[in-house]
Amino acid sequence: MENSKLLEIIKINPKAIAHVNSPTNEMKLVAVKKNGLVLQYIDSPTRELQEAALANNARAIQFITDPTDDMLVKVINDGWINLEYIENPTDELIKLALSQAGAAIKYANNPSEELQLLAVRKNYDSIKYIKNPCERVQEEAVKTSYDALRYISSPTHKAELIAIKNNEQAVRLINDLDKNKVLEFLKVNILAIKYVVKEIEITKDELEQVLKEVLAREDVEEKYVRDYLNFSTIDKNGEIMPRDKIMFIYQYGSKKAKKIAVDEKLKMK
């Protein structure tokens, strides 16, 4: 068949290049410009052909055995998902991909702590792609969202505390709850009690001890004091602690806690 006719066929169906013996450079160029993935059918493609194929479809990178650094950067700039087609990507390429999506971490073999941090800072739930995430990485992820706990098979105690401090609902994502853990959690977020009181039996004395310890601190956080005062389950009529909350702070609270209590009491009037 004449070259001119073959060229017209390739323009219509670029994959036809696979069935052409000794295609001309023009045929090859037309084919990859129409469909970059047909590069796989071309033996020893020139740089011009490789670049033309990538311009059409970044996934053509998988058919280039010796891509230049510029090619690799272009491919990742076209989409982080293209990291899938790059064998043994460098940390710099992975960082470029992570700037677009944390999920790119799944294409990194044994990622460093730096790469793990970049991933969870971009998208907290990308921690699901990290096997045995570092302690610092766990903490970073749960700071953004307590929901990150669901993706960590063995969270550190500190990560659990951070998650619960930020949102008491995090306690529902902890599988190995026991009384000691619950009491520690209540020291960072008293509101967590509403999610554990039916599962873990806590005595009046145990809860009082937690509150005494936290409220007596001069650096007690304002939110903790206000949460304690405003949480309706813990009041003089409640089943957990039948005690006047304001009086409890006057008896056991620090100067800071008492000051916050006075301010909260004025708001209640």
Q: What is the pLDDT of residues 157-189, one digit of tens each?
A: 999 999 999 999 999 999 889 999 999 999 999
The predicted structure's pLDDT at residue 199 = 81
Confidence of residue 237 (pLDDT cuts 50, 70, 90): very low
Per the model's pLDDT, the better-predicted residue between 114 and 175 turns out to be: 114
Per the model's pLDDT, the better-predicted residue between 232 and 50 turns out to be: 50
For the cut 60, the answer to whether the pLDDT of residue 238 exceeds it is no
Q: Which of 35-44, 166-175, 238-247 has the lowest mean pLDDT?
A: 238-247
In angstroms, rounded to a whole number, what is the distance separating the alpha carbons of residues 14 and 159?
A: 54
Q: How far is CA 4 from the centre of its chain?
A: 54
242 three-class SS = coil
Buried b (16+ CB within 10 A) or exposed e, 183-194: bebbbbbbbbbb
The predicted structure's pLDDT at residue 4 = 85
For the cut 60, the answer to whether the pLDDT of residue 20 exceeds it is yes
Confidence of residue 72 (pLDDT cuts 50, 70, 90): very high
Confidence of residue 260 (pLDDT cuts 50, 70, 90): very high
For the cut 70, the answer to whether the pLDDT of residue 233 exceeds it is no
In angstroms, rounded to a whole number, what is the distance separating the alpha carbons of residues 170 and 225?
A: 20
Model pTM score? 0.86
Please give the share of the chain, as a percent, with pLDDT higher than 70: 95
| In the block, residue with structure tokens 């209540």 | 186
